[in-house]
Structure 1
């Protein structure tokens, strides 16, 4: 919603009664866990949660991938869990490279495809973790999202924040984009800022684009092989960021098709598209079955200094001796 990222106006104020209800329910829920009236589930291995305060994409999935690679390079055996947002299940479910995105979720499908790590999904995080641990030898879990899922005890919390949109208008849902207030940044272990200057104690991150790949078969192509005029599509939290990245490379977009985050793509969504089309990697995993040869996707990798991964490793070692 556009007004989430502007100065609060009448639309935000109109929703303030619902925002107050949202605040009351979420605050009460947090307090029940804090007082022990609702119980946490603590897995037998440490848990690192990578989440955000605002709804929509902030670059969380590339951070999960980069962190998983760093932990694996350090000799650990990471496993991944996620809710499987927008997927039909059944849950809990193990994710493989052959899993369908509409069954396990687009982000889960992408994470396993890129990392080749064991992963399970399901709204019941405990059930997903127990399923994963029953099938794989794992010594650390990375939870993609779930910052507000207080039923899962965690050892490290990482917040990823969009450097352009930041915390929007600063209001909680539905008047603004926030699941929790800005105060929550003071209680997490690390804050990663995607695409802008990081503040004191925060870690700056950029998303580096790799070579385009054909959606139908993942074959890489050179950027110069793409025509200067093409169409683009994005079903992510901030589609304009993707479109702008293509324009900055000199491409003219005849169409810029923006869809809701986690949109379930069908051929009908592209019935009016003529010629080459470029999309995000997260969208491509849902379009591979019907994509023609002139559709491409752009993989991205999170780039930040080694300090973040080193700090996560040191924290795991100091608290758990890993």
Structure 2
């Protein structure tokens, strides 16, 4: 999609989002109140903003504080998107559902935050009730994944992930003006500070450890099915991976085992190793691919600026009660 078409499509989508928010504000649409604190993590662009690691970070920090956490995600393109489903904490490979049922993001979130309950489905109010029943209640926090445009649940904290991309570079689904609703902006990607950020914000980066003894001087085929494949390659190359070929699939791609085996074979013939992201690995693993056949990128989320803003927004109310 060229820059002009991106800008036009973004304008239409942003107008629809603004209309929904206006209807909510005047009372035509009404959101439900859940019996727990609701933290929303979202974005104003479509895909590739780095919100999933933020969701996992919040879930891990909550668990470390002794809080019971539920993550609510849509499960884009999965069977559970319509019917709904649940992933219990510490699910084993025998009990973990196939990502084709749960969706790749839910499967990845379980890998990154294994102690959280995860409810998957477009009807997130219904999914919270199901998870709450299965978990016998007691939740302290519900994290609403991709929640900025989701109006059906009332939110206590609105966190928005931002990148340096503009409306001629990627698809947007909300106006910059909508960011006034956010309590916390997190700059996740890019070298230029997003123009929409006019106040102090949190800045994070993704550090990718490189095993020098294993990976140094090796050539890699990279395989991604992401919203921002280019960023994944740049992150890998910055860490020292030599990427000589990048096989790109669409975001939330459903892999066929024959295709994956063919990629592994062709890479081997080229005397290269295959590197994938965690989001893709959970789907390859479900196909029976051994981790010994690939290198899985497992970046660490590091705070560069504003960690105090993050802690205060998320956990300040807990500190004031103690």
Query: TM exceeds 0.5?
Result: yes
Counterpart check, 1:235 vs 2:225: yes
Given that residues 55 and 143 in structure 2 are in contact (C-alpha distance below 8 angstroms), is that contact kept between their aligned partners in structure 1? yes
Equivalent position of 1:224 in the other structure: 213
Equivalent position of 2:132 in the other structure: 133
After superposition, the C-alpha distances for 1:221-245 in whole angstroms (9 at most, x for unaligned) are x343136112111111111111122
User: Following the alignment from structure 2 to structure 1, what is the Cα–Cα distance between the partners of residues 6 and 235?
Assistant: 30
Length-normalised TM-score, structure 1: 0.83
Given that residues 184 and 310 in structure 2 are in contact (C-alpha distance below 8 angstroms), is that contact kept between their aligned partners in structure 1? no
Which of structure 1's runs of 4+ aligned residues deviate more than 6 A? none
Moved more, 237-246 or 274-283: 237-246
* DSSP 3-state at the match of 1:258: strand
Compute the RMSD of aligned alpha carbons: 2.5
Shift of 1:191: 0.4
Q: How many residues align?
A: 295
* DSSP 3-state at the match of 1:286: helix
Shift of 1:316: 4.4
Judging by fraction of residues, say which structure has more helix.
2
Counterpart check, 1:281 vs 2:275: no
Given that residues 82 and 121 in structure 1 are in contact (C-alpha distance below 8 angstroms), is that contact kept between their aligned partners in structure 2? yes
Shift of 1:315: 5.1
Equivalent position of 1:178 in the other structure: 172
Counterpart check, 1:93 vs 2:85: yes
Shift of 1:12: 4.8
Shift of 1:57: 1.6
Q: How does 1:280-299 map to 2 (within 5 A)?
A: 280-288=277-285, 289-292=287-290, 293-299=292-298
User: Following the alignment from structure 2 to structure 1, what is the Cα–Cα distance between the partners of residues 11 and 162?
Assistant: 24
User: Following the alignment from structure 1 to structure 2, what is the Cα–Cα distance between the partners of residues 76 and 152?
Assistant: 21
User: Following the alignment from structure 1 to structure 2, what is the Cα–Cα distance between the partners of residues 297 and 74?
Assistant: 29
Shift of 1:298: 0.9
Shift of 1:168: 3.3
Moved more, 273-282 or 40-49: 273-282
User: Following the alignment from structure 1 to structure 2, what is the Cα–Cα distance between the partners of residues 20 and 113?
Assistant: 36
Q: How does 1:236-255 map to 2 (within 5 A)?
A: 236-255=226-245
User: Following the alignment from structure 1 to structure 2, what is the Cα–Cα distance between the partners of residues 242 and 269?
Assistant: 21
Length-normalised TM-score, structure 2: 0.83
User: Following the alignment from structure 2 to structure 1, what is the Cα–Cα distance between the partners of residues 243 and 20?
Assistant: 46
Shift of 1:283: 0.4
